[in-house]
Amino acid sequence: MQLKKTRHYWFGIAVSLLLAGLLAFLGVVFVSTPNLGWGAQALLSYGVLFGGPLAVVLALCWIVYMVRDKGQVPGRVHALLFLPSLLAAAIVPVSDSIERSRQDSFRESHPAIEETHVNLSSRTIWPDRRGGSLSAGASSYLEPGTAEQRMFLRFRRYPNQGPAAGEQFSYEGARLKDGVDRYVYSSQDGTPGAAVPLRRLPYPDLGKLPSAFSYGEAALVVYHYFHYADHVEVAPGIARFSGMTEDEMESAGIPGLAIFGLENLTPQTIARVEIGGQTYDMGSHADRSLLSRPCDPVRGGSPVLLDLEQPVRVRWQTMEEPGAWREVAVTVPAFSAASKKDPDKGLLRVRLYFLPDGTVAAERYRLIRMRGETSLRATGLPAAAKPHTGCGGAYFGYNPQTVKLLDN
């Protein structure tokens, strides 16, 4: 009896199945064809051109059935009229949701890695691109570094999916894979090139930084690749903080965290720095000489975790003499007893002054924001740096009407 009643609606059901078949076909083609490009517009056009009239006929059939049967159309008929098309139309959004979930899971376990490449090899290099892709706008090569060409190559490497890409990509999670002891250059056409020995420096001690950071360990670390004539050295270090990250770290009160800035008063171009054994993130370029230049106040800096109550070991290399280390021990002056009344807010900061005689002087300071007022506590420009810089220390460049300098 029920089957007989269903036969009264055979035309509408046939239209429903035909529309569902069309939508299912277009949906499967869409989700199974990579890089459709303009083909997606063609599929949409077919859907409108053929599916539109079918949808109109189906709606008219439903209205006729409702009028004919005075609203007593069986529920299973409603389902047969509309459910197949709805299920077919769901193919694309459901597939898209599954793909997004899969990609999110992959990115979570295979994060992007930030790299900085410093070319001290006296030749043009093409960094390794195997198993991944570079962030948008990143150059694929880097010319030899000089005092005039002091830019580094900085980008993020995104791992590709698939077993073959996973084997070629140098990282597992946020860490360089065990056993990676060769650096494989790319060539101009993107194929693997020459391989040279890779010397690995230890991974930095991040202390409590990861617990105070919202975006995972990989976003805290930058891998510095120093390219020499016969080998490459890779040195992971703590990456520069954004303004928002500085605020998070300030609120967290991380023990031993200080932001270091550099002022180069030597005649050479500083290309590599280690502070307390930790590789310092210089950003996107080497630190040019400021001798005989107008004052260029240093802003920002890079985070370092260490004990400032002990002399700090500072090592550096220059563009002019790659591979030759200079090393000194620097005493960071302490704040006066008056600083004990300061609120325990504001990240501790240190400015290092690299002097022409090969020594390094330091200035400690802190920017304090409280009750709508901003103050700066600083130990002052070191006496040894005064003859060589046109700047007046950490306070130079701040507006005295808006930032008060506290006595030290």
The pTM (predicted TM-score) of the whole model is 0.80
Same domain, 284 and 302: yes
- The band of 79, judged by pLDDT with boundaries at 50, 70 and 90, is confident
The boundaries of the domain holding residue 232 are 110-238
pLDDT at 1 over 50: no
Same domain, 231 and 249: no
Same domain, 125 and 38: no
Residue 66 pLDDT:
84
Residue finishing a domain among 238, 253, 273:
238
Look over the chain and give the mean of its residue pLDDT values, rounded to a whole number.
87
Average pLDDT over residues 1-11: 64
Asked if 330 contacts 352 with a C-beta cutoff of 8 angstroms, the reply is yes
Asked if 50 contacts 116 with a C-beta cutoff of 8 angstroms, the reply is no
Residue finishing a domain among 105, 122, 141:
105
Residue finishing a domain among 105, 132, 157:
105
Same domain, 26 and 119: no
Model confidence pLDDT, tens digit, residues 230-282: 999 999 999 999 888 888 888 888 888 999 999 999 999 999 999 999 999 99
**What's phi and psi for 374, nearest 5 deg?**
-120, 130
Same domain, 88 and 227: no
- The band of 352, judged by pLDDT with boundaries at 50, 70 and 90, is very high
Same domain, 260 and 378: yes
Lowest mean pLDDT among 68-82, 187-201, 320-334: 68-82
Same domain, 356 and 247: yes
Residue 37 pLDDT:
66
Same domain, 231 and 262: no
Q: Which of 158, 144, 171, 147 is nearest to 227 (CA)?
A: 144
Same domain, 318 and 353: yes
Same domain, 14 and 36: yes
Domain count, the chain: 3
Same domain, 407 and 277: yes
Same domain, 178 and 295: no
